[in-house]
Chain A
Amino acid sequence: MAGKFLVSITSAKNDTDKATVGFVVANAAVASGQETVIFLSTEGVRLSQNGYADDITEPGFKPLKDLMAMFVEGGGQIWVCSPCFKKRELDENALVKDATIVGGAKMVEFISQGAGSVSY
């Protein structure tokens, strides 16, 4: 019973608990056969940069870099908010594997196709 599921993550090192749990829930969705997208916006876009998450490990959870790698290996997609990325002057050449910079229309299109969503 494949469906669409979007997890919005708006935190990075400013709230590592939210950033981590967002990926854990996204992993539950992708593990359950859902077409799953993580949408990184506002501070969350920092997670799109290679190496940024390497030192984030919440007690009781796997390291965030491992959760991110598992998500992509499981078939999940990472979308990165274009204006949020630009505002922070991040590096397009340093995106983590399979991350894609997108505009809001891409997310709106996905949700309008019937995706459920949850925000962290």
Chain B
Amino acid sequence: MNKIPDISEALEVAQSLDGGESGCGELLLEMKFKLRAVPAGEILEVITVDAGAPEDLPAWCRLTGNTLLGKRNLDARRTAYFIKKEEH
């Protein structure tokens, strides 16, 4: 199990994606498309209820060379993940 840091402080995000009920490849492709509008060095927020996200999003960041800064639980179901887009 990956330990994703909890982030309590406010972060300035360049783009936000509400993934709704999407998970796995559906969510990841939406993230890929959304990330196109994020300048390098800035942050994409991804909100999801997907139970696979705590494992999937760290793996996606490793594969794509971006940085998962951390997460924030929004309520009982929804979690926000903060991804910093790196220079490639």
Interface residues of A (CB under 8 A from B): 1, 23-34, 60-62, 67, 70-71, 73-74
Contacts and interface: CB of A to CB of B under 8 A. Distances in A.
Interface string B6-40: 00000000000000011011101101110000000
B74 to A, nearest CB: 21
A28 to B, nearest CB: 4
Contacts of B60: 28, 31-32
A53 B55 CA distance: 30
Given A24-B24, A60-B21, A62-B22, A70 B64 contact: no
B25 A28 contact: yes
B24 A74 contact: no
Interface of B: 21-22, 24-26, 28-29, 31-33, 56, 59-60, 62-65
Most buried by A among B56, B59, B62, B64: B64
Contacts of B26: 24, 27, 61-62, 67, 70
Contact of B24 (A1, A28, A30, A73): A28
B29 to A, nearest CB: 4
A3 B28 CA distance: 17
Contacts of B24: 24-25, 27-28
26 contacts: A1-B62, A1-B63, A1-B65, A23-B25, A24-B25, A25-B25, A26-B25, A27-B24, A27-B26, A27-B28, A28-B28, A28-B29, A29-B25, A30-B32, A31-B25, A33-B64, A34-B63, A61-B26, A62-B22, A67-B25, A70-B26, A70-B29, A71-B29, A73-B33, A74-B29, A74-B33
